[in-house]
Structure 1
Amino acid sequence: MTPKPSALELWPAAASAVAVETDYLIFAFTVLTLMLTVPVFLAITWFAIRYRDGQEADRGTGGIRSNLIEISWMLIPFLLTLIFFVWGARLFVESKNPPPDAMVIEAVGRQWMWKFQHPTGQSEINDLHVPMGQAIKIRIISQDVIHALYLPALRMQVAALPDRYTELWFKADKAGTFHLYCSEYCGTDHSVMGGAITILRQGEYQDWLTHSGAQQSKVAAGRAIYDAYGCGGCHDAGSPVKAPKLAGLYGSAVRLADGRTITADEDYLRDKIRNPGGSRPADGGRQVMPSFAGVIPEDDLGRLVDYIKSGTGETRLGEATR
């Protein structure tokens, strides 16, 4: 359920330590800006009145000149603002480096809804449930136009781009239900493309997983996609088509025709499914696999990649040879 906004809410609640620190950064920089600019504007106003046309005043030039004052006026504000640059840069770098144990949630933006896929198979539309105290990495892509996932309570925002994955991560430390929005104008119903993020204590989150309904694992869902698109007709053992076998492919080294050697990671698998002819292998085989760009929805593509990653293709290949 989407939380109702308060009519008197001037600043969103902070649901993580990073959100609190971000607020401190904004408030402190605002204070510094006012300290540097308010005296200047007050002086401008006073001089404009004091030395206005027709007012008797001594307009002679003074003989006092001080390089120290001039240098101090430039150097001190520069050093003060540099502190905030370093502070903000540190927060930015940390936001781009999630911990290795972060729980990965797949997200797809489309006109006009958000779809979230949990590691255990549960799916949500426009609502997101996450555990408190656990690092969460959201891996996001758009199925149509550019969107942007905005979580005000976490002070986090990331663009959702077509054909390109982006990420954000956070660790929430305050239970509750908070807004999520699309902050990039994306068409007619952009204003209603929102929902809620619910932060639960660990026990409550496990209870939600148990009773949320969808219990199909990501691997099982991926195998269903594998069968639905007929991938086994070429990639299963015993197939008359000379296609690469998928067992053990993920994480292996792949030699390309241009002499490079790359690792078959998630991005490689996604690119290969979308555009099979984009990176030709060194074995010189002819590319006969059709492109699935625009054919497989992004959420189905993610499940298919999860199936290939799991290595369960080895069991499947074994079954096919019996």
Structure 2
Amino acid sequence: MTPQHSALELWPPSASAVAVETDYLILAFTVLTLVLTVPVFLAISYFAIRYRDGKEADRDTSGIRSNLIEISWMLIPFLLTLIFFVWGARLYVESRNPPPDAMVVEAIGRQWMWKFQHPTGQSEINDLHVPMGQPIRMRIISQDVIHALYLPTLRMQVAALPDRYTELWFKADKPGTFHLFCSEYCGTDHSVMGGEITIMSQGDYQEWLTHSGAQQSKVAAGEAIYNAYGCGTCHAPGSQVKAPKLAGLYGSEVHLAGGRTIAADDGYLREKIRNPNGNRLADGYKQIMPSFAGVIPEDDLGRLIDYLKSYRTAGGIEPERATP
């Protein structure tokens, strides 16, 4: 417990429809568990006392046997628990399929802080402002060790892994300021790695964006990073270096030197920048690109990837079959 937490919250408030349904699921399953187990323990206690050694009791078998009863006490609990399996599976599937209009917020975990970046460029440290009624899709990664972003008021938790993106999405419907935590032990200051999520009305969120020092968009920031690291020296149209062109790369199929074909998604771009000498050499090219692992900070790498994703027909060049 930290100075910001005056009391232990055994059941934090819910701020989304999914959180409410998750609470109902947990409560209903708890009730079912009690219904199925409490009679068993009561019966065990009764029979242990009633038929204990030295107690006068008729221990002759009754000879009554009912297959229907035996089948029932196996089949009925199975069917009841199957209901909860379907219920939980539906929530899981929904949590993995954000709506197409979801606003993307980038989240980076590092010892010992959370950094969030909004689509319009605003960045926050250990605080996250989001609008009510707007689906929020969070793309999460770690810059060092394994973390886990935990939003108790939304009943959501997802691991933040190094070298790999994870995602969660939510739509908050209750205004207020609530805690967020790292729920994976990540070092000596793990207990203070947390912050707050502030859920605001659409109007208040827009006002917050206006007065929070709006920066350039992620794509514009990524273009600045692209230029700062001299990526265009090799990849720009008309370059004298035989390097793959980037127009139309994202989302295309890349033919590798070993004969494999791989999709040019976020993970591919990230690994190609960090470790170009890996097993992702494009067919028809030599490996001359230097490694940028440890050179480009994780947040800058995310902005650079956002720029490459938007680099479709930059400079009026038509997309071509990508073989980076």
The TM-score with structure 1 as length reference comes to 0.92
- For residues 24 and 116 of structure 1, the distance between their equivalents in structure 2, rounded to whole angstroms, comes to 31
Aligned residue identity for 2:205: Y
Cα deviation for residue 252 of structure 1 reads 3.5
Aligned residue identity for 1:14: S
* Cα deviation digits, residues 66-124 of structure 1 (max 9, x gap): 11111111111111111011100110111111111111111110100001111110111
Q: Which residue of 1 aligns with 2:49?
A: 49
Q: Which moved more, 1:247-256 or 1:40-49?
A: 247-256
Aligned residue identity for 2:86: V
Q: Which moved more, 1:2-11 or 1:70-79?
A: 2-11
Q: Which residue of 1 aligns with 2:322?
A: none
Contact 1:3 1:179 (8 Å CA) reproduced: no
Q: Which residue of 2 aligns with 1:36?
A: 36
The structure-2 alpha-carbon separation of the partners of 1:217 and 1:305, relative to structure 1 and needing over 3 Å to count, comes to same
Q: Which residue of 1 aligns with 2:151?
A: 151
Cα deviation for residue 316 of structure 1 reads 9.9
Contact 1:102 1:136 (8 Å CA) reproduced: yes
* Cα deviation digits, residues 212-236 of structure 1 (max 9, x gap): 1132111221122112322222223
Q: Which residue of 1 aligns with 2:68?
A: 68
- For residues 139 and 72 of structure 1, the distance between their equivalents in structure 2, rounded to whole angstroms, comes to 47
The structure-2 alpha-carbon separation of the partners of 1:220 and 1:180, relative to structure 1 and needing over 3 Å to count, comes to same
Q: Which moved more, 1:274-283 or 1:69-78?
A: 274-283
* Alignment of structure 1 residues 75-94 onto 2, 5 Å: 75-94=75-94
Does the alignment pair 1:268 with 2:274? Answer: no
* Cα deviation digits, residues 206-265 of structure 1 (max 9, x gap): 111111113211122112211232222222344332222223332344332233444433
- For residues 26 and 51 of structure 1, the distance between their equivalents in structure 2, rounded to whole angstroms, comes to 37
The structure-2 alpha-carbon separation of the partners of 1:30 and 1:301, relative to structure 1 and needing over 3 Å to count, comes to same
Contact 2:164 2:267 (8 Å CA) reproduced: no
Q: Secondary structure at the match of 2:30?
A: helix
Does the alignment pair 1:128 with 2:136? Answer: no
5+ residue gaps, structure 2, are 318-324
* Alignment of structure 1 residues 122-201 onto 2, 5 Å: 122-201=122-201
* Cα deviation digits, residues 25-59 of structure 1 (max 9, x gap): 00000000001111111111111111222222222
Cα deviation for residue 166 of structure 1 reads 0.5
- For residues 97 and 237 of structure 1, the distance between their equivalents in structure 2, rounded to whole angstroms, comes to 37
- For residues 81 and 238 of structure 2, the distance between their equivalents in structure 1, rounded to whole angstroms, comes to 66
Q: Which residue of 2 aligns with 1:95?
A: 95
Q: Which residue of 2 aligns with 1:302?
A: 302
* Alignment of structure 1 residues 99-114 onto 2, 5 Å: 99-114=99-114
Contact 1:129 1:205 (8 Å CA) reproduced: yes
The structure-2 alpha-carbon separation of the partners of 1:312 and 1:76, relative to structure 1 and needing over 3 Å to count, comes to closer
Q: Which residue of 2 aligns with 1:219?
A: 219
Q: Which residue of 2 aligns with 1:207?
A: 207
The structure-2 alpha-carbon separation of the partners of 1:293 and 1:8, relative to structure 1 and needing over 3 Å to count, comes to closer
Identity of aligned residues (%): 82
The structure-2 alpha-carbon separation of the partners of 1:168 and 1:184, relative to structure 1 and needing over 3 Å to count, comes to same
Q: Secondary structure at the match of 1:73?
A: helix
Q: Secondary structure at the match of 1:104?
A: strand
Cα deviation for residue 10 of structure 1 reads 2.7
* Cα deviation digits, residues 255-308 of structure 1 (max 9, x gap): 32233444433222112112223312222x211001222322221111001112
Contact 2:249 2:312 (8 Å CA) reproduced: no
- For residues 69 and 115 of structure 2, the distance between their equivalents in structure 1, rounded to whole angstroms, comes to 58
The TM-score with structure 2 as length reference comes to 0.92
Contact 2:109 2:143 (8 Å CA) reproduced: yes
Aligned residue identity for 1:13: P
Cα deviation for residue 137 of structure 1 reads 0.6
Cα deviation for residue 158 of structure 1 reads 0.3
Contact 1:140 1:167 (8 Å CA) reproduced: yes
Contact 1:250 1:265 (8 Å CA) reproduced: yes
Contact 1:248 1:314 (8 Å CA) reproduced: no
Q: Which residue of 2 aligns with 1:257?
A: 257
- For residues 312 and 263 of structure 1, the distance between their equivalents in structure 2, rounded to whole angstroms, comes to 16
Q: Which residue of 2 aligns with 1:116?
A: 116
Q: Secondary structure at the match of 1:57?
A: coil
Aligned residue identity for 1:198: T
Q: Which residue of 2 aligns with 1:20?
A: 20
- For residues 198 and 132 of structure 1, the distance between their equivalents in structure 2, rounded to whole angstroms, comes to 10
Aligned residue identity for 1:279: R
Contact 1:3 1:196 (8 Å CA) reproduced: no
5+ residue gaps, structure 1, are 318-322
